[in-house]
């Protein structure tokens, strides 16, 4: 067993919008939760109900969800804050190959985002009446489910992996990138660079996470999360040494499922153990 500690936690209330960096979060079967708001519980969709992300709309990085006594408020540049209402009509929506259901969040949020993104969109909240199972090819018979994440409840990255990537960028004359380019939920100290690739489980008290699949990366990693501007790095550098032919992509970080301890509170600085499975 390898001693580890939680270096950072982040929750993304609206898929592909700005993250919340938090010191504490509750672990649920579908991922992290803060103040009753779950990771990737809300999603932007186009007129056909298909998910919209920073892949095609990098300006989504500038859209900031905030939580208050009335729930989640969306802060869209150039617009008055708008509340996300969860009681709208249900509609079928799509995340990759998953056919799931959402509850429409209202015209005010849709209008603000449509004006800002320059394309017609709506916002939906995940309908728990239609659970979304994780791919059993990787999650096995665990029964793991997720909300609007790409495929799994949690994304885990070791901080040493980013340090190594930034050293490689510096050697090529490029500036380093912050961890938010990769939008993880859990950043871990104590692992050697890329050792998360070989971790079977992470344990923090009663909580136990199983790392099940390497995360393939896209152009979102090249999008500055503070400005919405995009360039070629770090994806070009990663492609030189992190290509995974089995997954037909460049990988960085590990997707994880919750196998024990749902309801546990996680916190930055919390110590735990990693079981490696070379």
Class of domain 2-276: mainly beta
Query: For residues 125 and 17, what is the distance between their CA atoms, to the nearest angstrom?
Result: 14
Q: What is the pLDDT of residue 71?
A: 81
pTM for this structure? 0.95
| Burial tier of 185 (Cβ tally within 10 Å: 0-12, 13-18, 19+) | buried
Q: Check: CB of residue 224 under 8 Å from CB of residue 232.
A: no
| Burial tier of 148 (Cβ tally within 10 Å: 0-12, 13-18, 19+) | buried
Query: For residues 157 and 195, what is the distance between their CA atoms, to the nearest angstrom?
Result: 9
- Residue by residue, pLDDT tens for the chain (278 residues) are 899 999 999 999 999 999 999 999 999 999 999 999 999 999 999 999 999 999 999 999 999 999 876 689 999 999 999 999 877 889 999 999 999 999 999 999 999 999 999 999 999 999 999 999 999 999 999 999 999 999 999 999 999 999 999 999 999 999 999 999 999 999 999 999 999 999 999 999 999 999 999 999 999 999 999 999 999 999 999 999 999 999 999 999 999 999 999 999 999 999 999 999 86
Q: What is the pLDDT of residue 24?
A: 97
Query: For residues 75 and 55, what is the distance between their CA atoms, to the nearest angstrom?
Result: 20
């Amino acid at each position: 067993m390898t001693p580890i500690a939680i270096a950072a936690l982040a929750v993304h209330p609206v898929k592909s919008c700005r993250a919340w960096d938090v010191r504490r979060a509750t672990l649920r079967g579908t991922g992290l939760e803060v103040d009753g708001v779950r990771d990737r519980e809300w999603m932007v969709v186009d007129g056909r109900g298909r998910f919209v992300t920073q892949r095609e709309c990098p300006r989504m990085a500038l859209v900031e969800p905030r939580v208050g006594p009335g729930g989640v408020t969306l802060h869209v540049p150039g617009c008055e804050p708008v509340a996300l209402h969860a009681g709208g009509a249900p509609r079928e929506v799509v995340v990759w190959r998953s056919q799931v259901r959402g509850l429409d969040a209202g015209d005010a949020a849709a209008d603000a985002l449509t004006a800002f993104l320059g394309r017609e969109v709506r916002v939906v909240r995940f309908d728990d009446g239609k659970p979304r199972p994780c791919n059993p090819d990787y999650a096995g018979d665990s029964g793991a489910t997720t909300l609007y994440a790409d495929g799994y409840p949690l994304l885990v990255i070791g901080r040493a992996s980013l340090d190594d990537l930034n050293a490689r960028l510096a050697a090529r004359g490029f500036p380093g990138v912050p961890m938010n380019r990769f939008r993880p939920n859990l950043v871990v100290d104590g692992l050697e660079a890329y050792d998360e690739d070989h971790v079977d489980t992470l344990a923090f008290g009663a909580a136990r996470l199983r790392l099940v699949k390497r995360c393939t990366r896209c152009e979102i990693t090249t999008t500055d999360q503070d400005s919405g501007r995009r360039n070629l790095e770090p994806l070009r550098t990663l492609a030189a040494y992190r290509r995974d032919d089995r997954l037909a992509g460049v990988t960085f970080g590990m997707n994880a499922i919750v196998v024990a301890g749902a309801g546990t509170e996680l916190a930055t600085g919390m110590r735990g153990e990693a079981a490696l499975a070379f």
